[in-house]
Structure 1
Amino acid sequence: MAVTAYETVTLSSVHGFLKRKETAVKSCPKVVSYTHDTGRGPVLMLVHGYPQSSFQWRHLPGYGISSPPVEEPIQCATMGEPLIHACMELFPGRDMIFGGHDRGARVCHRITLENAHWPDAPKVKLLGCVLLDIVPNLEQWKVFANPKAAVAYFHWPMLASPLAVPLMEAFGGDKMTHAGLDRISGGNEEARARFQSDRSWDVYKSLYARRETIQGSAADYNAGAMIEPDLQVEDQKAGRRIEVPTLVAWSTRGLGSMHGDVGKIWEDWVKDGQPLMKVPCGDDVGHYLPEEASDLIARKIVEFLDSIGV
């Protein structure tokens, strides 16, 4: 059997100082992570988005080589819970900062709310939250009233559909992934070259050639349509907002062109008085900020961590 790209090209093969960990927790048979630990201080947990894998940061259960959550149906909370449990096992007693991009940021948004407001959720001492290139699910679905936005984000309802898996398999999950990576990235050629470095697109495409990955991601998008918006309506009615300092960054070419002032939108979702750092990303970079705008994003995350005393 041929060895695929995701099996040979990993974060550890590119960055030798990163240690690959497999953690079994009650809510998930296997969480795969790549860690670098100084032995002290808070833990910054970074969660990747669609259609990516650990090559961005780490594996999101159901998307890459981590196992899908045991609990059904899959939703942001059930995907986030095993990540928290794995971090608690790997770094016991340490404070945390949640950070994510795309679907990973949506998971971080949900578990940040649950950490503050739901007594049964796994609890950590949370110092901050980093959300890259998203608006809340509820706001995202509202923008579908704009025909241009509905076309741009066609994969949202498509992947939430019961036909998502057979459609993806008929077209080819790897082909669909290539199209998505190409379509939503920006026009900055330097940024695109960074995004494609180290065979990253081959890694992502090889994962989406697997039925398990297609099924896991489709279940996530289904939850993003059928479960998460209703939860967010309830959150807003009850006044449940993010209660820690937050950084939001977005592509002005992409998300900003559809939603306008993304930072302004997030003001209604973060508790009054909590610091909200807003980072619009120009220079024609697209959706994949951690790779297309890696220098800027890394610098702004460091500034954010400094601002909260980490």
Structure 2
Amino acid sequence: MAESLETRNFFPALQRNVTPTPSGSTVVSYTSDLGDGSPILTLIHGYPQSAFIWRHIAPTLLGKVSLFIPELPGYGISTRSTPSKRGVGTALLSAIQTLFPGSRSVILAGHDRGARICHRLAVDAASAPPDLKITGAFLIDIVPTKVQWDKFSDPAIARGYFHWPLLANVELAVRMLTAYGGGRWVREAFQLARKSEEGLRRLEDGVEVYVALFEKEETIRGSCEDYEAGAGVDVEEQVADQREGRKIRVPTVVMFSQAGLGARIDVAREWVDWVEEGVPYEGVPVGHGYGHYLPEEAHDIVSEKLVAFLREFSGVKLD
């Protein structure tokens, strides 16, 4: 199954692309281009998943906005690149430039590690390629990486996010997860993150896809290198951002699980210091017991809010 996933199109209504980038990474993505300079919405997945997490949301947007849905480099389908969020984000923007002609606006949307890439790109918006203008950020179930590390002083949070320091120790983590079984690790991860039976039911048809990808040592290593960057260069960049006043300057929505991330962290409040004063910003808790994997567990709620965000801030004309 893992081998066939490397060439499978998860979105038959979209174009599957294999795009070399200057970083050395080859980015696999699924796209739909409405042409005429139409805005592009990214949908970027997180750990331990693939672009398949957007299977419920992408169809609701097809024909309404141009779509760019990448497989994260190092996660089993796209090949590895520089693992920092800035490095991966730059590779993704390069792929967008190749696939979408002309000057375009880009609305960044992502979940988990993908949302961290979106955060980095939103802060760096002024440095985006001249034909790409970043106009919005829609972040799902994260607080800034620096904030998350700071919260490890809370024992309950440290226990819940134990995988952060574990995976950041790449060589040890690769040996341990390979010995334990990457697929077994993924199954356990979904069980540990479970907040409701309904949420688990809604994502279970994707679990075997993610399990198959993490049976490969290269996926385990690539994803661990992502976490290593998240414990090093990504944090250092955010510390410098805050010190030098670099913040998100585009309209921003942060959706989060009230039962999960929001249970011990005031997520909406934490983001206030990371968005430029006066820039439209909203923190949106998701209830009903849904957990971390909101694009699957709460895809209907996420889709509705995403459409509203596009309509209000990104110049997208939706029915």
Query: Which deviations, in whole Å up to 9, do the C-alpha atoms of 1:167-186 show, x marking residues without a partner?
Result: 11111111111111221132
The answer on 1:115 being equivalent to 2:125 is yes
Alpha-carbon RMSD across the aligned residues, in angstroms, is 1.6
Q: Which residue does 1:83 correspond to in 2?
A: 92
1:149, 1:266 → 2: CA distance? 18
1:177 to 181, 186, 210: 186
CA contact 2:9–2:16 (8 Å) conserved in 1: no
SS at match of 2:278: coil
Tell me, in whole angstroms, the C-alpha distance in 2 between the residues paired with 1:287 and 1:179. Answer: 14
C-alpha contact 2:256 2:284 (8 A) present in aligned 1: yes
Aligned-partner SS, 2:124: helix
Partner of 1:228: 234
Unaligned runs of 5+ in 1: none
What does the per-residue CA deviation read over 1:184-213, in whole Å, with 9 as the maximum and x for residues that have no partner?
1321x333222113xx11100000000111
Match runs of 1:135-284 below 5 Å: 135-161=143-169, 162-187=171-196, 189-197=197-205, 200-259=206-265, 261-284=266-289
Letter in 1 for 2:274: W
Q: Answer whether contact 2:19 2:27 (CA < 8 A) is retained.
A: yes
Q: Which TM-score applies when normalising by structure 1?
A: 0.91
Choose the corresponding residue for 1:33, options 29, 35, 38. 29
Deviation at residue 238 of structure 1 after TM alignment: 0.5
Partner SS state of residue 292, structure 2: coil
Q: 2:77 aligns with which of 62, 65, 75?
A: 65
Residue 145 of structure 1: how far off its partner (Å)? 0.5
Question: What is the aligned residue count?
Answer: 296
SS of 2:195's partner is coil
1:104-161 alpha-carbon deviations (Å, 9 max, x no partner): 0001111211223xx5x54521110111000000110011101111110000000001
Displacement, 1:38?
A: 2.2
The residue number in structure 1 matching 2:297 is 292
* 1:25–1:7 CA distance, 2 compared to 1 (3 A): closer
* Distance in 1 of aligned mates of 2:10 and 2:216: 20
Contact 1:185 1:288 in 2 (8 A): no
Paired AA for residue 139 in structure 1 = V
Describe the superposition over 1:9-31 as per-residue Cα deviations: whole angstroms up to 9, x where unpaired: 6413xxx2122111111113410
Q: Which amino acid aligns with 1:180?
A: A
User: Residue 234 of structure 1 aligns to which amino acid in structure 2?
Assistant: A
Instruction: Tell me if the contact between 1:5 and 1:206 (Cα under 8 Å) persists in the aligned partners.
Output: no
Q: CA deviation at 1:228?
A: 1.3
8 Å contact kept, 1:10–1:55: no
| In structure 2, C-alpha distance between the alignment counterparts of 1:230 and 1:7, rounded to whole Å | 34
Contact map agreement 2:76 2:216 (CA 8 A) in 1? no
**Aligned residue number for residue 63 of structure 2:** none
Partner residue of 1:43? Answer: 40
Q: Distance between the aligned counterparts of 1:262 and 1:306, measured in 2?
A: 24
Contact 2:106 2:133 in 1 (8 A): yes
Q: Give the TM-score normalised by the residue count of structure 2.
A: 0.89
Gaps of 5+ in 2: 55-69
Distance 1:194 1:10, change over 3 A: farther
- Secondary structure class of the residue paired with 1:11: coil
One-letter amino acid matched to 1:6: L
> Counterpart of 1:39 in 2: which secondary structure?
coil
Classify 1:3/1:140 alpha carbon distance in 2 versus 1 (closer, same or farther; 3 Å): closer
Q: Percent identity?
A: 45
Partner of residue 302 from structure 1, selected from 267, 287, 307 = 307
